[in-house]
Amino acid sequence: MSQPRPVVRLRPKAEARAIRHGFPWVYADELVVDRRTKTMAPGTIATLEDADRRPLATVTVNPNSKIIARVMSRDAEVEIDRAWIAQKLTRALEMRARLFEAPFYRLIHAEADGLPGVIIDRFGDAAVIQPNAAWSEMMIEDLEAALAEVTGVSTIIKNGSGRARTLEGLAEETVVLRGSLDTPVEVPMNGAIYMADLLGGQKTGLFYDQRPNHAFAARLANDARVLDVFSHVGGFALAALAGGAQSAISVDASAPALDLAARGAQAMGAGGHFSTRQGDAFDQLDALGQEGARFDLVICDPPAFAPAKPALQAGLRAYERIARMAAPLVEEGGYLVLCSCSHAADLAQFRAACTRGIGKAGRSAQLIHTGYAGADHPMLPQLAESGYLKSLFFRLD
Residue 73's pLDDT is 97
Can you name the residues that pair with 298 across neighbouring β-strands? 227, 336
- What confidence score (pLDDT) does residue 201 get? 79
pLDDT digits (tens, 9 = 90+) for 198-226: 998 788 899 999 999 999 999 999 999 99
CATH of domain 82-178: 3.30.750.80
Closest-CA residue to 283 (of 335, 236, 230) = 230
CB 226 within 8 A of CB 249: yes
CATH T-level assignment (fold) for domain 7-73: 2.30.130
pLDDT of res. 1: 45
pLDDT in tens, 186-202: 999 999 999 999 998 78
For residue 130, pLDDT beyond 90: yes
Query: What is the phi/psi pair of residue 81, to 5°?
Result: -145, -170
pLDDT of residue 13: 84
DSSP-derived 3-state class of residue 8? strand
pLDDT of residue 2: 55
Q: Which CATH architecture has domain 203-396?
A: 3-Layer(aba) Sandwich (3.40)
Q: Which of 300, 339, 341, 354 is catalytic?
A: 341
**Among 119, 9, 109, CA closest to 61:** 9
- Compute the distance between CA of residue 122 and CA of residue 186 in angstroms, rounded to an integer: 12
DSSP class per residue in 321-382: HHHHHHGGGEEEEEEEEEEE--SSS-HHHHHHHHHHHHHHTT--EEEEEEE---TTS---TT
% of the chain exceeding 90 in pLDDT? 90
Contact 195, 263 (CB under 8 A): yes
Helix (H) or strand (E) holding 67: strand 67-73
| Contact (CB, 8 A) for 239 and 232 | no
Cα separation, 356 vs 352, in Å, equals: 6
Q: Say whether pLDDT at 308 is over 90.
A: no
Give the lowest-confidence range in 8-17, 100-109, 270-279, 387-396: 8-17
Structure confidence at residue 3 (pLDDT):
66
**In terms of pLDDT, which residue wins out, 267 or 386?**
267
Q: Where are the domains of the chain?
A: 7-73, 82-178, 203-396
pLDDT of residue 387: 85
Catalytic, 354? Answer no
Q: What is the pLDDT of residue 384?
A: 84
Please write the tens of the pLDDT for every residue from 113-129. 999 999 999 999 999 99
Ramachandran angles phi, psi of 171, nearest 5°? -75, 160
